Structure 1
Amino acid sequence: MRNRALLVMNLQRDYIGQDARMPVDSGQMPGLLEHVNSLVDDFAQEGSDILYIMNEFSPYDIIGNAFRQQAAVAGSPGAELDARVRIASGLRFAKRQGDAFSNPALAGYLAASGVSELVIAGVFAEGCVARTATAALRLGFLVTIPRRAVGGRNERQRDRAMKKLRRIGVAVSDQLA
């Protein structure tokens, strides 16, 4: 059996919380959290790694933070994982770019753990999820995205991102992985 890991991307208060600064489409939220938490349970039960990928932007990035509406500024309450997200491990990797592999510690950890397959869940389908999935393919990982465990700005953007990812070789599934 391949060694696989679950990447839980950016399920932080500033994206999915009640007072989110850059919110995911609210209609996607109940199902998104339900499906992500189910994946966390499944991966924990099988003994696979669960990694929490977090945006942490520098408080000194004035222009970028203005563009991002001050979302996920390092040390702010909005940069914390939303309390509704099930935590099954302490494996957390911070990033300041869309692609989670922009933090070299992630690739190092996955290589040291012998991971060959990634399941990616979280937000935003059209941004961080797509960039991370694309980078993972380039690095030789098999990549699966359970569509119901991924959110976007709106349905149209999420659907467009899923179609693009499928075209480049990502397994997009309507079933949980």
Structure 2
Amino acid sequence: MCNRALLVMDMQRDFIGEDARMPVDPGQTPGLLEHVNALVDDFAQEGSDILYVMNEFSPYDLIGNVFRQQASVAGSAGAELDARVRLAGSLRFAKRRGSAFSNSALAGYLAAAGISELVITGVFAEGCVYRTAKEALRRGFLVTVPHQAVGGRNERTRGRALAKLRRIGAHVVDQLS
């Protein structure tokens, strides 16, 4: 049996909140929250790991923060997990780059826990979700992306990202079996 973990990527106020600085498509947010929360419940019930990966950009990265519209600066309210996201456990990994693997503690944790499959949810499909899935595949993980549990800047970019994920070997699914 495969030991799997749920990655909840960047479900932070600055990306999905009502006053988000760098929002996903607002029309996607209700369904995104519903599906991510359902997966959190399922994984918690089965006793599988749930890992929250959060952007925490340095306040000293002036140019990057301008580009990101000051979104998710470490210590800011916008960098906090959105209150509508279910929190199950305390496994959190901060990152400053697109891939969750930019935080080496994540890879160490996954190896120590014997995780071989990652179910990746969250935002942005065309950014952090894609980069994390690509790196996970490169590292030999089985990667599953429930398409209704990822959000994007708009439907077009989300759809393109999901198609790219399929092409590189991720399992893009309607729901987990």
Q: After TM superposition, is the score higher than 0.5? A: yes
Partner of 2:105: 105
Q: Give structure 1 regions of 4+ aligned residues with deviation exceeding 4 angstroms.
A: none
Cα deviation code 1:86-134 (max 9, x no counterpart): 0001000000000000000000000000000000000000000000000
Deviation of 1:175 after TM superposition, in Å, equals 1.4
The 2-side partners of 1:94 and 1:176 are apart by 26
The 2-side partners of 1:175 and 1:142 are apart by 16
The 2-side partners of 1:58 and 1:94 are apart by 11
Deviation of 1:176 after TM superposition, in Å, equals 3.7
Partner of 2:150: 150
Partner of 2:30: 30
Partner of 1:127: 127
The 1-side partners of 2:99 and 2:148 are apart by 21
Partner of 2:164: 164
Partner of 1:141: 141
Calculate the TM-score normalised by the size of structure 1. 0.99
Cα deviation code 1:76-95 (max 9, x no counterpart): 00000000000001000000
Tell me the secondary structure at the aligned position of residue 127 of structure 1: helix
The 2-side partners of 1:139 and 1:176 are apart by 22
Gaps of 5+ in 1: none
One-letter amino acid of the structure 1 residue matched with residue 81 of structure 2 = L
Calculate the TM-score normalised by the size of structure 2. 0.99
Gaps of 5+ in 2: none
List aligned pairs for 1:10-29, cutoff 5 A: 10-29=10-29
The 2-side partners of 1:97 and 1:44 are apart by 27
The 2-side partners of 1:30 and 1:60 are apart by 33
